[in-house]
Amino acid sequence: MAAIIVALAALPAPASPTDRYFRGPDGELLPFATRAELVEFLRSAEVVSWSEIADGSTRPKKVLLEKDGVRAHGIFRSFERVQERIEDPDNGLTRHGAFKDSAMFEAAAYELATLLELPFVPPTARRVIDNRDGTLQLWIEAAMSEKERQERVLEPPNATWWRGVLQTLVIFDNLIFNADRNTGNLLIDADWDVWFIDHTRAFQTRRDLRNPQFITFCERRLWERLSSLTDDEIRRSMSAYLDGREIGALIRRRARIVEHIEKLIAEKGPDAVLFDYEYDVSTWSRSDRPTPD
């Protein structure tokens, strides 16, 4: 987390990010008009083959799916455990205290991102495969991690937009109390679309915020959704994936983030705190994609 946060500062409004679309195993565009169609594909497509992913303590599977002549890769996770210790190599820390590590949190992260109109979490569905209840998330093809980007010293094509996305990441991770954000679980695809992945250690029952000091500005539409979201909306959206304590903690953290941003706006004014970029989380364009400056 520290390696990601260090780049953040109060910035002018980022340029619009690209509309996003998704690709199949051979780089072809997937023929879905909405994310809901893609989620339905994840729920219902036939599993053609699967293989274990080498790097992953929870032994996730890379799955090849097919339906009506359309193929796509996904990542399937199926586990739930309570741990007493977590290593945090990016921050050089070892954290102690019971916390839940659950595949179901991947679906919760996607549902919450959809509720907030955020496009950064790959489509994810709850699914039973091989008699195991778990989550199936679209595989982002031809992607590099933020760790790899830093090692290769690659600069984003639009630095202002990039910093705006990272600030959205900070807000999202505070909201879900993500205990495991690092440079390996932030992905960048070939179009420089950014993806937040690996949320199995999020949604803890802590009611405070992990890093509120790093929340310094906010995308306007995200602010509107955060401030207008009701507790009942959160309960309805999250009840399939989180228990009552986890939902209650999420509701309290949302309120704390709203209070924090309200204070920033009162101190600095809305123009210094809120920025705009345009995207549509239900559809994406295959033409007229704006190119980052």
Of 211, 208, 218, 201, the residue nearest 273 (C-alpha):
218
What pLDDT does 95 receive?
Answer: 55
DSSP state of 274: E
Question: Measuring CA to CA, how many Å separate 224 from each of 76, 205, 267?
Answer: 33, 25, 18
Q: Where are the alpha helices (DSSP H) in 116-219?
A: 146-151, 159-176
Residue 86 pLDDT: 57
Residue whose pair of structure tokens reads 């809305």 in the numeric block: 270
β-pairing, 274-275 vs 218-219, is parallel
Structure-block tokens of residue 253:
């953290």
| Model pLDDT, residue 21 | 73
b (16+ CB within 10 A) / e for 240-253? ebbeeebbbbbbbb
Give per-10-residue mean pLDDT for the chain (293 aa): 47 42 90 90 96 76 97 95 64 58 96 94 95 96 95 90 92 95 92 92 94 95 96 97 97 98 98 78 37 36
Distance of CA 85 to the CA centre of its chain: 23
Q: What is the pTM of this model?
A: 0.86
| Buried-exposed string 182-211: b where 16+ CB fall within 10 A, e elsewhere | bbbbbbbbebbbbbbbbbbbbbbbeeebbe
Q: What is the pLDDT of residue 242?
A: 97
Are 196 and 169 contacting, i.e. CB atoms less than 8 angstroms apart?
yes
Name the residue ranges covered by the structural domains of the chain. Answer: 2-15+30-275
Q: Find out whether 30 and 70 touch, Cβ atoms under 8 Å.
A: yes
Residue with tokens 């199936």: 136
Here the tokens at position 247 are 């939902």
The answer to whether residues 135 and 126 touch, using CB atoms and an 8 Å cutoff, is yes
The pLDDT assigned to 153 comes to 95
Residue with tokens 């921050």: 91
What does the angle CA 230 – CA 232 – CA 236 come to, to the nearest 5 degrees?
125
pLDDT on residue 280: 47
Task: Determine the pLDDT at residue 284.
Answer: 37
Residue written as tokens 């910093």? Answer: 163
Cβ atoms within 10 A of the Cβ of 54, count?
7
Nearest CA to 199 out of 289, 64, 104 is that of: 104
CA dist., res. 38 & res. 20, Å (int): 13
